[in-house]
Amino acid sequence: MADEAPSIEYLRAAAALQGVHPSDEDLEAVQGFLSVLLPAFSELETMTPAGTVPAGMFVPIDQP
Amino acid sequence: MSLADLAGRLSRSDLSPREAVEYYLDRIERHDGEINSYISVRGEEALADAVALEKRAPADRGPLWGVPVAVKDVIDVEGTVTTCGSYVTEGAWPAERDAGVVAGLRDAGAIVLGKLNTHEYAYGAMTTSPRFGSGHNPWATDRIVGGSSGGSGACSAARLAAGTLGTDTAGSVRIPASFNGVTGLRPTTGRVSNRGVFPVSFTYDTVGPLAPSAEDCALLLTAMAGHDPEDPSTADVPVPTYERELGGGIEGLRVGVVRSLLDGDIDARIADAVAAGIDELRGLGAQVRDVSMPMIEHFGTIQQATQFADATQVHAPTMRTNLDAYGPDVRARLLTGLFIPSTVYAAGQRARRVAYETMRKAFGDVDVLCAPTMPVLPPRIGEDTVELNGRTTLYRLTIIPYNSPWSLVGLPVLSVPCGFVDGMPVGMALIAWRFAESTLFRAGHTYQQATDWHVREPALTSTTA
């Protein structure tokens, strides 16, 4: 995953594909969030051992 | 006066439900203008409810008979518009029925005084509603109340209701509990019905009580916990009468101190206050030891990987038609969720399993974990930064490491007041394994029997609403 936030043009187009039409000012704020989140998300892929099943919608009920 | 004290006085007929409602309506009239904790007050309805309750036969009176409470305005109360603190809901119809938790409180005899201020759609930790204005901290009115259940924290601290309800996705009960100097419980995810509560994220949300003491929160949780056939996320696990399990002390209770958080990026004065609280637990008989938790620094990222998309999915239809009605900060968060790749969401769910197993292992050796609730004091209204050991940092970045680890795997957390820094209250978080709220209440109650942080009240000076 890229560590840099996508461009305003990319974000505008991707939002439009989902029927949402934000202002450039809004998308600049989004870039701020993504610039922090995307590098952190990249690490998720490396911290999960092979064969780990998802937690699912609700975590299970069992004892420690 | 605590909620438990008030319930006792009502049950002994030392005062009537109507007198209790009138007492709080008078306090709201005199003081809420200073802190802006209420979005709407059900004055006439609450008085009518009180009169109706007075006609109940003594045998039909529940444990909260006549106790006035207030709820965060993302929770439905029949006949009242659920505003979610947003312009988006302008013109919305009143709720046709009570949320599951409100129905539970009313069945126990509680009276709903009104709806409380919230960060817009419970999606932020400031409670600076674009529609209803910022909440003001009753300990220093130029500071925020935290959030998202900021109105609930401020209302409880100012004693403008006997107890309140908030909601918690990633800290939204615990943060305002800490910032306002009250006790707050995030219950186990699935312990309490979310029916009739506007969601942030279906897999993390839960409703929790905020009130002066652990005993108060126990009374409220007993009334509202349990399986709801209309909410499949609730677990069919027996509900104790929590307030009857407060005694017995904490001799031998195994308390694990999350050392990486106590020594982490935290205001040193807050760390000292929490360390003193831990010493108090040790003095009360707890067996205290340090606990290390691998990967805990990543747990916040895991929650964000799933929570952003969850929240955006809920709001997507409105974002297509009425995007500008959201305040700028919530609009930016919701838009960010549009760009979280599905692979990140899937990776987050798998990493959530790793976090769950890490936490389960930790609880093999301890009964309760202990950590600071928040590492910083509340920022001043209008600012999004805080001072942290001589440097300036973004407030929102301080929240996640101290709150998400427990939400991520659905654990219950009790925040209890444990001291003051610069005249502002700070909180100590006690965390238990799933559905072990009784252990938290017993620990919190024992601590509060030995300390007086939770009975201190802010000085309110306003005389106009």
B23-64 confidence digits (pLDDT tens) = 999 999 999 999 999 999 999 999 999 999 999 999 999 999
The whole-number pLDDT of residue B437 equals 98
Please write the tens of the pLDDT for every residue from B432-445: 999 999 999 999 99
Cα separation, A61 vs B185, whole angstroms: 19
| Catalytic residue list contains B172 | yes
Please give the average per-residue pLDDT across B102-112, as a whole number: 98
CA separation for the pair B262, B375 (Å, rounded) = 9
Can you state the percent helix, strand and coil of chain A, rounding each to 5? 55, 0, 45
pLDDT for the residue A60: 52
pLDDT at B178: 98
**A18 contacts in chain B (CB < 8 Å):** 316, 320, 338
The tokens for B405 are 């680890």
Tally Cβ neighbours within 10 Å of residue B117. 33
| C-alpha to C-alpha distance for B258 and B271, rounded to whole angstroms | 12
Q: Under DSSP, is residue B46 helix (H, G, I), strand (E, B) or coil?
A: helix
Average pLDDT, integer, range B395-403: 94
Mean pLDDT, rounded, of chain B: 96
Among A45, A48, A62, most B C-beta atoms within 10 A, so best to mutate, is A48
What's the mean pLDDT in B162-189? 98
Q: Is residue A58 very low, low, confident or very high in pLDDT (cuts 50, 70, 90)?
A: low
From chain A, pick out residues whose CB is under 8 angstroms from the CB of B435.
61
| pLDDT for position B50 | 98
At A43 the pLDDT is 84
Calpha distance B243→B225 (Å, rounded)? 13
Contact criterion met (CB below 8 Å) for B408 and B353: no
More confident residue, B197 or A60: B197
Residues in A closer than 8 angstroms to B306, CB to CB, are none
Whole-angstrom distance, CA of residue B398 vs CA of residue B385:
10
ipTM for the whole complex: 0.91
Q: What mean pLDDT comes out for the span B93-106?
A: 98
Q: Which residues of chain B lie closer than 8 angstroms to A45, CB-CB?
A: 347
Share of chain B above pLDDT 90, in %: 96
User: d(Cα B28, Cα B139) in Å, to the nearest integer?
Assistant: 16
pLDDT on residue B117 = 98
Amino acid residing at B134 = S
Of A18, A26, A47, the CB nearest to B331: A26
Active site residue B86: no
pLDDT in the model for residue B465: 43
Once rounded to an integer, what is the mean pLDDT over residues B263-276?
Answer: 97
Burial B401-433 (b: 16+ CB within 10 A, else e): bbbbbbbbbbbbbbbbbbbebeebbbbbbbbbb
pLDDT band for B266, please (50, 70, 90 cuts).
very high
Q: Which CATH number fits domain B3-300+339-455: 3.40.350.10, 3.90.25.10, 3.40.50.720, 3.90.1300.10?
A: 3.90.1300.10
Q: What ranges do the domains of chain A cover?
A: 8-46
Distance from the B349 Cα atom to the nearest Cα atom in chain A, whole angstroms: 5
Q: What is the DSSP string of B166-219?
A: EEESSSTTHHHHHHHT-EEEEPPTTSB--TTB--S-TTT-EEEEEESSHHHHHH
Query: What pLDDT, on a 0 to 100 scale, did the predictor assign at position A62?
Result: 56
The CB density around residue B221, as the number of other CB atoms within 10 Å, is 27
- pLDDT for residue A56: 66
Among the partner-chain residues B305, B316, B333, the one whose CB lies closest to the CB of A41 is B305
- Residue B219 burial by CB count (10 A; 0-12/13-18/19+): exposed, middle or buried? buried
B148 is catalytic: yes
What residue of B is the nearest CA neighbor of A39?
Answer: B301
Q: How confident is the model at residue B461 (pLDDT cuts 50, 70, 90)?
A: confident
Asked if the model's pLDDT at residue A15 lies above 50, the reply is yes
Average pLDDT rounded to a whole number, residues B119-139:
97
**Under an 8 A CB cutoff, do B352 and A34 touch?**
no
Determine contact: A61 vs chain B, CB below 8 A. yes
Give pLDDT tens digits for B217-228. 999 999 999 999
Number of A to B CB contacts under 8 A, please give it: 126
